[in-house]
Amino acid sequence: MKAPALAATVARKANDGDRLKMIAERLQVSSPQLLSWLDEVAENAPHETTAETKALTEREQKALLAADSALHSTPLETWAYIRTAIHYWEFLRSGLSIDKAARLLSQSPEEITRQIDQRTLYGISIAGRKIVLPDFQFTTSGVLPGLDVVLPAIPVDMHPLGVVKFFSHPHSDLTLLDNAVSPLTWLLSGQPVEPVVDLAHALEYYP
C-alpha cells in the first residue's frame, strides 16, 4: 500500500478523520500536515510496534486523549503511525535553521550548507525548501565530538528518525562503568570515535 493510501486508511480508522482532526488541533498543526507526516513516516520508516505504542508518555496521553475520550478505542495500528508522526514533528520543531546553526558555530550560512553537503553536519530538507539541523549534534561549545567522522559512515538513505535513534539509544557495545550508553553519551564523554563509526557502518546491514 502506498503512503497516501495508507494515510487515508489511518484517517478512516480514526472515525473518518474527525478524531485525527482533533489530534491535529491539539498539536497545533493542520490535519493535512499531520497526514503529510503520516505519509512520510509510512514511506520512509517502519512504525513502532504495537507493544511500544501502549507505553505513551504522560504528555502524549494529555495531547491525544484530551482531544476525545473515545480515542481510547482507537486501534493500536493507528496509534503507531500517529505516535511516530508526533515524534517526527517534535524532532523537526527542535532543530536549528541554517542561519541559527551558523550563528551558534560562528560560521557563515554557506559554510554550514557546505558541511551538510559533505555530511559532516546533519541537515534535513523539508518539502524540498527548508533545511533543519537536528539539535542533538550541537553542544554548548560547538559540534558533537567525532560527528564529522560518524555521519559519513551512516547510510545516506537512512530516515531521520533512524539517525536520531542511532545516536540517542544505548548500545551494548558501548559501555561506561558497566552501563550501556548511547553513541551521543559516548562521544560527549570523550571516548574514542572508532567504535561508534563501526556501529554506524553496521547500520547498512542491521538498520
Using CA atoms, how far apart are residues 53 and 106, in angstroms rounded to an integer? 41
Model pLDDT, residue 125: 83
Q: What does the angle CA 25 – CA 26 – CA 27 come to, to the nearest 5 degrees? A: 90
In the predicted structure, residue 32 carries a pLDDT above the cut 50:
yes
Contact 92, 132 (CB under 8 A): yes
Query: What mean pLDDT is predicted for residues 40-55?
Result: 43
Of 129, 198, 205, 132, the closest CA to residue 164 belongs to: 132
In the predicted structure, residue 7 carries a pLDDT above the cut 50:
no
pLDDT band at 26 (very low <50, low <70, confident <90, very high): low
Model pLDDT, residue 45: 43
Model pLDDT, residue 141: 86
Using CA atoms, how far apart are residues 64 and 23, in angstroms rounded to an integer? 6
In whole angstroms, what separates CA 193 from the centre of its chain? 23
pLDDT band at 88 (very low <50, low <70, confident <90, very high): confident
In the predicted structure, residue 102 carries a pLDDT above the cut 70:
yes
Report H helices in the chain. Answer: 3-13, 18-26, 31-44, 50-53, 58-65, 76-93, 98-105, 109-117, 147-150, 160-168, 183-188, 194-202
Of 122, 161, 128, the closest CA to residue 144 belongs to: 122
Predicted TM-score (pTM) of this structure: 0.66
Query: What mean pLDDT is predicted for residues 87-106?
Result: 86
Using CA atoms, how far apart are residues 60 and 68, in angstroms rounded to an integer? 13
C-alpha distance from residue 148 to each of 105, 121, 124, 199 (Å):
14, 7, 16, 15
Highest mean pLDDT among 48-52, 82-86, 148-152: 148-152
Element (H, E) at 179: strand 179-181
pLDDT band at 46 (very low <50, low <70, confident <90, very high): very low
166-186 pLDDT, tens digit per residue, is: 999 999 999 999 999 999 999
Comparison of pLDDT for 193 and 23, the residue scoring more: 193
Highest mean pLDDT among 2-6, 45-49, 70-74, 171-175: 171-175
Q: Return mean pLDDT, the chain.
A: 76
pLDDT band at 47 (very low <50, low <70, confident <90, very high): very low
Element (H, E) at 138: strand 138-139
Please give the backbone phi and psi of residue 65, each rounded to the nearest 5 degrees, phi first. Answer: -70, -25
